[in-house]
């Protein structure tokens, strides 16, 4: 083969591999869209399940997932951002910070069912929150921490060093430097990480299995100590626990969940592109 | 003539590497002191010791004294933020914040709380006048500082430095990223500023040292080889190394 032929073969094969990589996503989304779109209508989105969940809608599960995502954000964001600032700006390379970093890497690798059991043990039983939105949000929040900490730390480290140096040279304290000259530039990256983390939390089943999710609870929750239905668990329940479940409702539920998670990811992607374009350094 | 800064037996280390060896340097008040020497001779390191910017680098160590108005800035009771307000800095590359012209100048006064005593608008105006660019930018204060050309950006950085009302301004090769016209502009500005501020400038450019400064120190391998009035140093250097360097035979 000539060099030019090798070039053509190489480009051809990596293009093919790239297409193969994208194909499953397109197929899965397409399949669920085709199967589920028929179930989606106003009643499905705005009413509670009925007739042993074989009829009616999934409103309590949708709202439950939104509430849990909000709860996750409230638990996760302050801790993750503070930890990222500490790691990026203050923590040197000491024995303690090496342990902290190791712990964060390991947290990211823990299976989500282990978070679920941890939440059951600590929040539901030991702290006595019961099976509740509070316990579920704390569990999901902790599960989301590592990914948000890592992306936020990267965003902070990506801010050019010269901004810090100039700020310090003008007599600003380290905190003023971080607050006025580092965080504003790191914010787009931090927010992107938060949204992606929340998108993952919204779709998780295992962490909410023992900590918050209700099998069937048509009434909407009234306090953070109530249980709630949630889309991922609802999908699991109707797919495995309910005999003679119409397929269209299962796919409809999957489609709604997919849309919520995808739209979060999409918002993150659009936001990042927009901010990158506006960035001038 | 009073010494604004008096450096005594000052040494500086990066880990085990000694970058500066027992320096004794007098910095005269309201004069321009130029530091020349080949790359890596320690002149920039020395400059950054005068406002303790080297503190931000890990595993560094300073020995000896740097007396600012008679007070050692390396004493434990010195507040480095206050020190850096008094001893400002202009960097090699123009490095405005990616913000408006106004916000660049106002940043220092804001974080130091100076706007409690004096309207911020007034501080900004005076600082920009001080760096000779008020008339150029007065109608576009809200524009991004990054839209200015490099020469203007560097003068904006000077305005930003003088906005916090420092006593000393350290300049680390302030013209090395500028074209000849912008360079002359900044040198002219330095001479004007010398009536109010004490200026220490590191430069690679010997013509610049000869043109713009009152005093010149020649650094070689972390040591101060010669220090005297600029005219004397360039016309009759006492040390063979100095002569070799300024005539271009060593460098």
The CATH number of the domain holding residue A71 is 1.10.3720.10
Residue A48 lies inside a defined structural domain of this protein: no
Q: What whole-number distance in Å separates Cα of residue B162 and Cα of residue B122? A: 13
Cβ-based interface (< 8 Å): residues of A facing B: 92, 162-173, 176, 180-181, 185, 279-281
Please give the span between the terminal C-alpha atoms of chain A, in angstroms, as a whole number: 45
The structural domain count of chain A equals: 1
Residue A183 lies inside a defined structural domain of this protein: yes
Nearest-Cα residue of chain B relative to residue A278 = B98
Contact B81 A171 (CB under 8 A): yes
Select from B224, B222, B249, B225 the least CA-distant residue to B238.
Answer: B225
In this structure, what are the phi and psi dihedrals at residue B238, rounded to the nearest 5 degrees?
-85, -25
Q: What whole-number distance in Å separates Cα of residue B67 and Cα of residue A56? A: 81
Could you list the residue range(s) of the whole structural domain that residue A252 is in?
59-272
Asked whether the beta carbons of B48 and B6 are under 8 A apart, the reply is: no
pLDDT band at A111 (very low <50, low <70, confident <90, very high): very high
Residue A3 above 90 pLDDT? yes
Q: Is B97 an interface residue toward A (CB < 8 Å)? A: yes
Contact B111 A163 (CB under 8 A): no
Q: Which of A164, A166, A171 sits opposite B82 (nearest CB)?
A: A171
Q: Which domains does chain B have, with CATH numbers?
A: 3-95+167-246 (3.40.50.300)
Contact B91 A166 (CB under 8 A): yes
pLDDT band at A281 (very low <50, low <70, confident <90, very high): low
Which chain B residues have a beta carbon less than 8 Å from that of A167? 107, 111
Residue A18 lies inside a defined structural domain of this protein: no
Residues A131-158: what's their mean pLDDT? 94
Residue A258 lies inside a defined structural domain of this protein: yes
Residue A127 lies inside a defined structural domain of this protein: yes
Residue A42 above 90 pLDDT? no
Residues near B189 by beta carbon (within 8 Å), at least 6 away in sequence: B131, B132, B155, B158
* % of chain A residues with pLDDT over 70: 99
Q: SS3 for A227? A: coil
Residue A11 lies inside a defined structural domain of this protein: no
Residue A145 above 90 pLDDT? yes
Contact A171 B112 (CB under 8 A): yes
Contact B91 A176 (CB under 8 A): no
Question: Sign (positive/negative) of CA torsion B32, B38, B41, B47?
Answer: positive
Asked whether the beta carbons of B73 and B48 are under 8 A apart, the reply is: no
Residue A100 lies inside a defined structural domain of this protein: yes
Asked whether the beta carbons of B217 and B226 are under 8 A apart, the reply is: yes
CA dihedral A171, A177, A180, A185 (to 10 degrees): 140
Residues A102-130: what's their mean pLDDT? 93
Nearest-Cα residue of chain A relative to residue B157 = A166
Residue A128 lies inside a defined structural domain of this protein: yes
Q: Is B82 an interface residue toward A (CB < 8 Å)? A: yes
Q: How much is the mean pLDDT over chain B?
A: 92
Express each pLDDT in A168-195 by its tens digit.
999 999 999 999 999 999 998 999 999 9
What's the complex ipTM? Answer: 0.91
């Amino acid at each position: 083969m000539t060099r030019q032929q090798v070039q053509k073969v190489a480009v051809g094969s990596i293009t093919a591999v790239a297409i193969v990589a994208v194909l499953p996503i397109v197929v899965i989304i397409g399949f669920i869209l085709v199967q589920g779109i028929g179930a989606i209508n106003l009643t499905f989105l705005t009413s509670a399940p009925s007739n042993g969940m074989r009829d009616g809608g999934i409103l309590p599960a949708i709202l439950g997932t939104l509430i849990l995502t909000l709860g996750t954000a409230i638990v996760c964001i302050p801790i993750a951002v503070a930890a990222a600032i500490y790691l990026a700006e203050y923590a040197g390379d000491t024995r303690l910070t090496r342990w902290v970093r190791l712990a964060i890497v390991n947290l990211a690798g823990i299976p989500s069912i282990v978070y679920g059991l941890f939440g059951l043990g600590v929040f539901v039983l030991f702290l006595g929150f019961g099976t509740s939105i509070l316990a579920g949000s704390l569990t999901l929040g902790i599960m989301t921490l590592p990914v948000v900490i890592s992306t936020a730390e990267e965003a902070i480290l990506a801010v050019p060093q010269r901004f810090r140096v100039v700020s310090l040279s003008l007599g600003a304290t380290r905190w003023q430097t971080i607050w006025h000259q580092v965080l504003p530039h790191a914010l787009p990256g931090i927010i992107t990480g938060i949204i992606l983390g929340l998108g993952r939390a919204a779709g998780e089943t295992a962490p909410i299995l023992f900590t918050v999710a209700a099998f069937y609870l048509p009434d909407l929750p009234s306090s953070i100590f109530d249980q709630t239905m949630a889309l991922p668990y609802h999908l699991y329940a109707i797919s495995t626990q309910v005999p003679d479940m119409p397929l269209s409702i299962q796919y409809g539920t999957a489609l709604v969940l997919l849309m919520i998670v995808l739209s979060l990811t999409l918002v993150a992607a659009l936001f990042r592109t927009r901010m990158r374009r506006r960035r001038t350094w | 003539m009073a010494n604004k800064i008096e450096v005594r037996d000052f040494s500086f280390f990066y880990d085990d590497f000694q970058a500066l060896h027992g320096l004794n340097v007098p910095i005269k008040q309201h004069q321009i002191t130029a530091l020349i020497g080949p790359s890596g001779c320690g002149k920039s390191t020395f400059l950054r010791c005068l406002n303790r910017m080297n503190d931000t680098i890990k595993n560094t160590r300073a020995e000896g004294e740097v007396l600012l108005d008679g007070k050692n800035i390396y004493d434990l009771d010195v507040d480095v933020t206050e020190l850096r307000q008094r001893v400002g800095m202009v960097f090699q590359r123009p490095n405005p914040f990616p913000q408006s012209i106004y916000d660049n100048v106002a940043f220092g006064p804001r974080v130091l709380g100076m706007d409690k005593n004096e309207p911020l608008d007034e501080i900004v105006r005076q600082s920009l006048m001080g760096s000779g660019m008020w008339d150029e930018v007065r109608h576009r204060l809200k524009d991004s500082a990054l839209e200015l050309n490099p020469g203007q950006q560097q003068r904006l950085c000077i305005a930003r430095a003088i906005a916090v009302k420092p006593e000393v301004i350290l300049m680390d090769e302030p013209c090395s990223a500028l074209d000849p016209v912008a360079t002359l502009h900044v040198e002219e500005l330095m001479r004007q500023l010398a009536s109010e501020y004490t200026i220490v400038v590191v430069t690679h450019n010997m013509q610049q040292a000869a043109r713009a400064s009152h005093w010149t120190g020649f650094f070689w391998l972390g040591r101060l080889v010669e220090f005297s009035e600029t005219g004397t140093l360039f016309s009759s250097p006492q040390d063979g190394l100095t002569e070799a360097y300024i005539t271009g035979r060593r460098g």
